[in-house]
Amino acid sequence: MSMGVKEDKPNTPKKPFIYYYTIMMVVLMALNLFLMPMYRSSQVTEVPYSTFLDMVDQGVVTSVERSDDEIVFLVKTGNKTVFGDDEIAQYKTGPWPDNNLEDTLRSHKVQFTTPIIEQPSALMTILVQWVVPILLFVAVGQFMGKQLQKRMGGPNAMTFGKSNAKIYAESETGKTFADVAGEEEAKDALKEIVDFLHDPQKYADIGATLPKGALLVGPPGTGKTLLAKAVAGEAKVPFFSISGSEFVEMFVGMGAAKVRDLFKQANEKAPCIVFIDEIDTIGKKRDGSGMGGNDEREQTLNQLLTEMDGFDGKKGVVILAATNRPESLDPALLRPGRFDRRIPVELPDIKGRESILRVHAKDVKMDDTVDFTAIARATSGASGAELANIINEGALRAVRMGRKVVSQQDLEESVEVVIAGYQKKDSAVSEDEKKIVSYHEVGHALVAACQSHSAPVHKITIIPRTSGALGYTMQVDQAEKYLMSKDEVFNKIATLTGGRAAEELIFHSITTGASNDIEQATKLARAMVTRYGMNDQFGMVALETVNNQYLGGDTSLACSPETARVVDEEVIKLVKEAYKKAMEILAQNEGKLHEIAAYLLEKETITGDEFMEILNRKEETKTESAEHELVTE
């Protein structure tokens, strides 16, 4: 992306340095001209040799310096200086023609061995005393300024009061709504702004005004910045792009000055779009904790609020902003008249994921057998940025394998890379540990398959991954699910406990491999009690609040310590019930557990179809089952 330049008012080119040097020389010449009389009294005056002898006889000569071609001497003038001493004038005459001159000088007590230092010219004095120190000072200042810029982050660090916004001309964003997939609702909300910028008159005829601002809210990677660029590309208007952190300066008041400069530029370029990314940096709630001092962020926010109120909406200046922390924004920023619209940019559904995969696959050579729908089903909860990464990882894998096109296998492997990391080919996992991991993963799959309202098993593997997982079981729903019943949530907890249950059932001991399962099961059980109202003890009472829903979704309890203790008891009870159910299912299907675990140990990776084929086979005879169990144990 290239930075645009203002078209209406081109920047004035910087004057060359010779311009400033010429001015400096003219000033120096003028100073030399006017200051010359100050030095005339100390200039050397040439006199005849006879005059020199007369001055010696008169006793006014104080010292003489002899050279091969001239004699330079000092003479008392008779005038007094401000310090009370006689003034001294400097003269010179021809060479030394008289051999008796030395005796004459001795008789008049004239010093003729003392060297006389020549008085420098006025120009040299000015240069040495004024110009050189100034130039040295300027050079040191420039050097220190460059070092400060490097430490503070670039050439714009010391441009106080300038907004540093990147300005893209009409065609320079290179993005349109065709480049945005999976966010149809957000695009529909923004198309009206584009239409207003194209034809404002039809809105003015009915008395409608353009929304001053639109706030794009959603998780990271969903395409908020891309949507803003697409709006500018569709409207064919200049696009100002700046991050909220660029308003935060080291000096108080500089952020507010940058806001003023940004809106001044925007008004000059209207109609245009101003995009402020990560606006929560400067738009946080004002809580009065400034301790009585000047808060730079608060001043910047106040200036932003003032500017958004002050500019004329009919000019066609639209403010777009993006954030993934809307709960932290100041209410004054969100009221109508400032950010009139709040546009959610959520994680895409299965149809949106398929569209995003196809958009990113346009420039990648794909095999004709690639099934984007299957990849979209396997990537539930993935953002647009993660889906783009999956396509790129698939292309990289195809190159590593020496293929010219990307296959379905490449994309499926890239999904696993994004979820669990790369395969650890040189992992030194012992055979005993592999056997434990095999039973553990089959325990998950078997509990899931034997329950209703559970997602089908897609893949089971015991190949270690770089994320630290020694194996995993992947379940993929056939359709997108937005709601989960109480039975589905409980069954999911039972599935999570199935790995630990299999270890205890077969090996009569437990390992540390279930740590992630325990964490997820506990989180789900707590949510059933505190947020979903799926507990008979508390019913429809919210005991927990979600913070930063787009950034991890941390929770905090909103109840008394006594209630929190009861919550813990109910969570433990739920997990224990799910674990008991998993143990019962595995005990009833122990033969299949041995059979599938042995097959997985041999193959290391099996598909969901292979798993179901073994599970649905006719039961073995009791003798064969007993022999098989004896061998595996």
Q: If you average pLDDT over every residue of the chain, what do you get?
A: 79
Q: Which of 374, 370, 377, 372 shows the shortest CA–CA distance to 350? A: 377
Mean per-residue pLDDT, 341-361: 90
Higher per-residue pLDDT: 422 or 251: 422
d(CA 537, CA 473): 33
Query: Among 225-234, 434-443, 518-527, where is mean pLDDT lowest?
Result: 225-234
Specify the pLDDT at position 446. 94
Specify the pLDDT at position 293. 45
**Confidence band, pLDDT 50/70/90 cuts, at residue 406:** very high
Judged against a pLDDT cut of 60, whether residue 624 lies above it is answered with no
pTM for this predicted structure: 0.68
CA 131 to chain centre: 45
Report for 73-77, 509-513, 578-582: range of highest mean pLDDT: 578-582
Specify the pLDDT at position 29. 66
Tokens of 190: 């923004």
Tokens of 86: 């006689």
d(CA 88, CA 472): 103
Q: Taking a C-beta distance cutoff of 8 angstroms, is the pair 348, 182 a contact?
A: yes
Residue 81 phi, psi dihedral angles, 5° rounding: -85, 180
d(CA 387, CA 221): 10
Higher per-residue pLDDT: 9 or 184: 184
Higher per-residue pLDDT: 186 or 26: 186
3-state secondary structure (DSSP) of residue 345 = coil
Specify the pLDDT at position 162. 57
The model's pLDDT over 200-239, given as tens digits with 9 standing for 90+, comes to 788 888 888 777 888 999 888 888 888 888 888 888 888 8
Query: Among 4-18, 247-261, 290-304, 331-345, where is mean pLDDT lowest?
Result: 4-18
Residue whose structure tokens are 């034997």: 450
* Contacting residues for 403 by C-beta, under 8 A, at least 6 apart: 410
**Confidence band, pLDDT 50/70/90 cuts, at residue 105:** confident
Report for 122-136, 401-415, 493-507, 616-630: range of highest mean pLDDT: 493-507
Judged against a pLDDT cut of 60, whether residue 160 lies above it is answered with no
d(CA 603, CA 597): 10
Q: Please, which residues bridge with residue 605 across strands? A: 461
User: What's the Cα-to-Cα distance from 371 to each of 289, 455, 514, rounded to whole Å?
Assistant: 55, 20, 33
Specify the pLDDT at position 527. 92
Mean per-residue pLDDT, 67-81: 75
3-state secondary structure (DSSP) of residue 556 = strand
d(CA 506, CA 435): 11
Our answer to whether residue 633 is catalytic in this structure is: no
Q: Give the number of other CB atoms < 10 A from CB of residue 87.
A: 13
Q: Taking a C-beta distance cutoff of 8 angstroms, is the pair 54, 75 a contact?
A: no
**Confidence band, pLDDT 50/70/90 cuts, at residue 33:** low
Q: Please, which residues bridge with residue 545 across strands? A: 556
**Confidence band, pLDDT 50/70/90 cuts, at residue 70:** confident
The model's pLDDT over 581-621, given as tens digits with 9 standing for 90+, comes to 999 999 999 999 999 999 999 988 898 889 999 988 865 44
* Alpha-helical segments (H) within 421-456: 431-449
User: Measured at the alpha carbon of residue 420, what is the angle toward residues 418 and 422, in degrees to the nearest 5?
Assistant: 80
The model's pLDDT over 269-317, given as tens digits with 9 standing for 90+, comes to 878 888 888 898 888 887 765 544 457 778 888 888 888 876 666 677 8
Specify the pLDDT at position 577. 95
Query: Among 74-78, 302-306, 448-452, where is mean pLDDT lowest?
Result: 74-78
Specify the pLDDT at position 625. 40
Instruction: Measure CA of the first residue to CA of the last residue in the chain; give whole Å.
Output: 63
Q: Give the number of other CB atoms < 10 A from CB of residue 295.
A: 16
Could you say which DSSP state residue 11 is in? Answer: P
Tokens of 183: 């966010």
Report for 9-13, 23-27, 127-131, 323-327: range of highest mean pLDDT: 323-327
Judged against a pLDDT cut of 90, whether residue 62 lies above it is answered with no
**Confidence band, pLDDT 50/70/90 cuts, at residue 268:** confident
d(CA 282, CA 291): 18
**Confidence band, pLDDT 50/70/90 cuts, at residue 141:** low
Determine which helix (DSSP H) or strand (DSSP E) holds 37, and give its type and residue range.
Answer: helix 17-40
Q: Taking a C-beta distance cutoff of 8 angstroms, is the pair 240, 167 a contact?
A: yes
Query: Among 134-143, 197-206, 373-382, 592-601, where is mean pLDDT lowest?
Result: 134-143
Catalytic residue among 234, 441, 503, 570: 441
Report for 16-25, 117-126, 173-182, 392-401: range of highest mean pLDDT: 392-401
Judged against a pLDDT cut of 60, whether residue 265 lies above it is answered with yes
Specify the pLDDT at position 179. 83
Tokens of 90: 């400097």
User: Dmax of the chain from CA atoms?
Assistant: 148
User: What's the Cα-to-Cα distance from 240 to each of 124, 232, 322, 361, 548, rounded to whole Å?
Assistant: 53, 9, 14, 29, 28
User: What's the Cα-to-Cα distance from 346 to each of 167, 273, 349, 532, rounded to whole Å?
Assistant: 28, 23, 9, 21
Judged against a pLDDT cut of 50, whether residue 445 lies above it is answered with yes
d(CA 160, CA 258): 8
Specify the pLDDT at position 95. 76
Before 271, cis peptide (omega within 30)?
yes
Q: Taking a C-beta distance cutoff of 8 angstroms, is the pair 389, 373 a contact?
A: no
